[in-house]
Chains A and B, each alone.
Chain A
Amino acid sequence: MTACEDSQLVARVVSGQDTDAFGELIRRHQSHVRNFLRKLTGDYTAADDLAQDCFIHAWDKLQTFSGRGSFIGWLLKIAYTTFLQSKRKSKRYGEILDQVGHANEVDDRNYTVQPDEVGDLDRFLAVLTDEERAIMVMSYACGLSHREIGESMAMPVGTVKSVIFRGKEKIRTSFDIKDHQHG
């Protein structure tokens, strides 16, 4: 039902540049997108800035949404691309600062959380690569199916499954997951 309504709202935006309809789409999905980016970056402020950029990109590219997959899957794909672009930019900025001797000012949006805020989930996520983290968050936090994740990340379902398996293995070997369960 929601998917149908999403596609109706998308149609209104594409046909008439209806900003109110787009506002409704943002209201519906902002929590998932912000949550996804918060878990990717580990930084709430940076994540919310990226979420804003993500929705602006979504507005610009909305006519490319085919309507075959879920809208949230399509949005998370844009969110992940926005995250990677931002990371690349920060890296370039860091290199420039490094060249002029301001290495301390570098803000490379790697997974960094404040030491007092580090929880079990943050420790788990820290051992994963960006791609593994994105796929694990899509699967476990956003509840996307493997097929939806495959569409979002432009990879076959089999690859999604193996990335999730690899991520779980990393977590299991790094943190001795069985002890954690019972402790």
Chain B
Amino acid sequence: MTSKIINMAERIKDEQDRLLESMFESAPIADNGFSKQIVKRIRRKLWIRRITLPAAVLIGGLVAFQPVVGLLKGVYQVLASMPIDLVPSLESSLPSLQLIVTGALILFVVMFSLNMIED
């Protein structure tokens, strides 16, 4: 109500105001699928955002799998070739393969969950 009074007060019009208003007046523009087109674009955008991170993790995992396995094999070969009295202390300080895989899985699950929450 108050805003209507303010509106009226600021629109004490002169002839030119009325002329301009009549000139600016135009028929409403029909939607004709305009809104549907934008909603479609937004849905596509959302879908792309949702699959980006999981897809990136999956592809990254596939690409990194072989080099990581090779690296771990190399580490164990180095450990195996070391003097027997040195190995136990090194083995205890290096994480086991099981631990690395578990850590990677936890990281993946956390990242995926954060992504879902963000969406």
Contacts and interface: CB of A to CB of B under 8 A. Distances in A.
Contacts, number: 80
Contacts of B98: none
Contact of A141 (B17, B26, B31, B36): B26
Contacts of A124: 20, 23
A52 B41 contact: yes
Contacts of B24: 39, 121, 136-137, 140-141
Majority SS at the chain A contact face: helix
A137 B119 CA distance: 37
A146 to B, nearest CB: 5
A19 B37 contact: no
Interface in A1-48: 17, 19-20, 22-23, 26-27, 30-31, 34-35, 39, 48
Contact of A30 (B17, B19, B29): B29
> How many of chain A's residues touch chain B, expressed as a range?
35 or more
A52 B38 contact: yes
A23 B16 contact: no
Given A35-B26, A59-B42, A136-B24, 17 more contacts: A17-B119, A20-B39, A23-B35, A26-B35, A27-B31, A27-B35, A31-B30, A48-B34, A51-B34, A52-B41, A56-B45, A124-B23, A137-B24, A140-B21, A145-B3, A172-B16, A177-B19
List the 8 closest pairs (A to B, CB-CB), nearest first: A26-B35, A141-B24, A140-B24, A23-B39, A31-B28, A31-B29, A27-B35, A121-B23
27 contacts: A17-B46, A17-B119, A22-B39, A22-B42, A23-B36, A23-B38, A26-B35, A27-B31, A30-B34, A34-B29, A39-B24, A48-B34, A52-B34, A52-B41, A56-B38, A56-B42, A124-B23, A136-B24, A137-B24, A140-B17, A140-B21, A140-B24, A171-B16, A171-B20, A177-B16, A177-B19, A181-B15
Interface of B: 3, 6-7, 10, 15-17, 19-21, 23-26, 28-31, 34-39, 41-43, 45-46, 119
Interface of A: 17, 19-20, 22-23, 26-27, 30-31, 34-35, 39, 48, 51-52, 55-56, 59, 120-121, 124, 136-137, 140-141, 145-147, 161, 168, 171-172, 177, 180-181
